[in-house]
Amino acid sequence: DLAALLNREVWERVRLLAPTPARPVLAASLIVIDSSGAQPRVLMGKRHPNDRFMPDKFVFPGGCVAPQDKRMNVAGMLPELVEMRLAKVGPAYSLPRALALAAIRETFEETGLVLAERECGTPENPPESWRDFAAHGYPDLEPLHFIARATTPPRLPRRYDTVFLAADSSAITHKVEGMVGPDRELVETAWVTLKEAFDLELAAITRVVLHELERRLTAGMSHFLPAPWYRVARQGWVRQEM
């Protein structure tokens, strides 16, 4: 029961705090999976020790949705079920693509990995936050899978409404060096098996998403598999199918 795990590790710590007026900020993470070996491996990054949010924790690359994510041209379309689930996060017509693009952009900015399509050349006049990425092609949405959604409890001062997407490492077309290091957001990255990942220093929600990923990998990673939303109701965390 993964909701029970969150209730033990998070809700017991925050349930007596007063609710805050903080509204969740939209965010997206990308789980990159190397399925070429006997066991799948995932890319994890260690956050900077001076970060206010989850310092020293291992996380999936990701971050907040930026306004320019809605304006970036793309290659390919989101898989239909991925788009349908992302559309449930909010009413904006452009939100599914913006969430997917945020995950791709943040992964590039934090790790240097480029998930792009080059057959159509490179975008002309991309948004400023996308210029470095655009030198390598158009962001490619077709390889993306929906894994889970999680919303920070209303009793914490910093809240995120985060979608966790995944793509196989075979979709990575280029890597820019120098994006990881002691003065960057991620001080190190590592390709680890799921068993090894569970032994890292993780936030509770990262542990839960790893369990959800493991379930999907075991079941074949079909887009038709159930996808959960973890959120806090009156009595604590609940797991709701999207």
pLDDT tens across 105-153, in order? Answer: 999 999 999 999 988 899 999 999 999 999 999 999 999 999 999 999 9
Q: Which residue has the higher pLDDT, 223 or 93?
A: 223
Q: What pLDDT was estimated at residue 153?
A: 93
pTM as predicted: 0.96
Percent of the chain with pLDDT over 90: 90
pLDDT tens-digit readout, 177-212 = 999 999 999 999 999 999 999 999 999 999 999 999
- Sign (positive/negative) of CA torsion 227, 190, 200, 66? negative
Rounded mean pLDDT of the chain? 95
| CB of 48 closer than 8 Å to CB of 187 | yes
Query: For 18-44, what is the mean pLDDT?
Result: 95
Asked whether the predicted pLDDT for residue 51 surpasses 90, the reply is no
pLDDT grade for 91, boundaries at 50, 70 and 90: confident
Q: What pLDDT was estimated at residue 56?
A: 94
Q: What are phi and psi of 110, to 5 degrees?
A: -95, -25
